[in-house]
Amino acid sequence: MATGAGGEQPGIGRGERIGAMMILQGAMARMRAQPVALAAWWILASIATVGVEQGARLAGIDPGGDLPSQGDAWYRIARALLEGLSSAAGFRLILQGRLWFDRGFVVCAAILTTIAVVTGFAIASPYSAGLGGGAQAALVAVMFYLGLKLTLWPLGPLMGRDDLTLTRGWSAMHGATLGLALAFLLSMLPLFAVGMVYVAVPPAELDRLPAIIVDAVTVQALTLFALAMSATVYQLRVENPATVADVFD
């Protein structure tokens, strides 16, 4: 972890603009730095996702249904827990180079799981199906914005930064929120391409195991890159706010 003069932690930068291309380049550099470990994360996360999806279907739960089925809430909590744990593990690999479990990891995973639970019930779920199109779009926009502003908060416990509180993490995203949003949208283009392929597939075929595997692999690849982008913002804003040179090491 970067430290300032005399071994003290550097302050948290504020206001400096961090653009989308800087974030994308930094994420690519971090992905290239640990290809084996991150590839293992990708494979394991994809397998776990397929397991949760298949388990839900075997239990009679329809994850994509328009109405809540029995057990749907537990399915969404399980997905959120998986997302929280895997994201915390991914952040630790990307930012610290290896995986270990401590209090910081648990707190980070708990924060990420809580965010995932709220998002999972609010967006693309039968619980919000009764909203009109405009209300749903507004809800997605609000949740996306909140997710961006909360990017740095879970990383405080993970990295041992007690000074990175919720409020400081929120304010530190000033000048980086738009860049991260644009970077997310650009990184989602491959996912859109996969979605266009799904359009040509009959709905009955989408529940087949190969389709579930393709979906899990694609989503987890995007998730991993999203973690690398968030880690880049963290490094630029918190660990080394005075320079952007570490992005291109």
Q: What is the pTM of this model?
A: 0.84
Q: Average pLDDT of 158-169?
A: 92
Question: Is the residue at 126 inside a domain?
Answer: yes
Residue 62, both tokens: 């329809």
Question: Is the residue at 118 inside a domain?
Answer: yes
Question: Is the residue at 2 inside a domain?
Answer: no
Question: Is the residue at 89 inside a domain?
Answer: yes
Residue 3 has a pLDDT of 43
Residue 125 has a pLDDT of 61
Question: Is the residue at 50 inside a domain?
Answer: yes
Question: Is the residue at 4 inside a domain?
Answer: no
Average per-residue pLDDT for the chain:
83
Q: For 36-50, 91-105, 132-146, 222-236, which range has the lowest pLDDT when averaged over its residues? A: 132-146
Residue 198 has a pLDDT of 58
Residue type, 9: Q
Q: Average pLDDT of 176-192?
A: 87
Instruction: Count how many domains the chain has.
Output: 1
Question: Is the residue at 6 inside a domain?
Answer: no
Pick from 142, 126, 125: nearest CA to 134: 142
Residue 58 has a pLDDT of 84
Q: For 129-138, 144-153, 160-169, 210-219, which range has the lowest pLDDT when averaged over its residues? A: 129-138
Residue 246 has a pLDDT of 41
Residue 132, both tokens: 């009109």
Question: Is the residue at 92 inside a domain?
Answer: yes
**Position 209 pLDDT exceeds 70:** no
Structural domain boundaries enclosing 211: 13-248
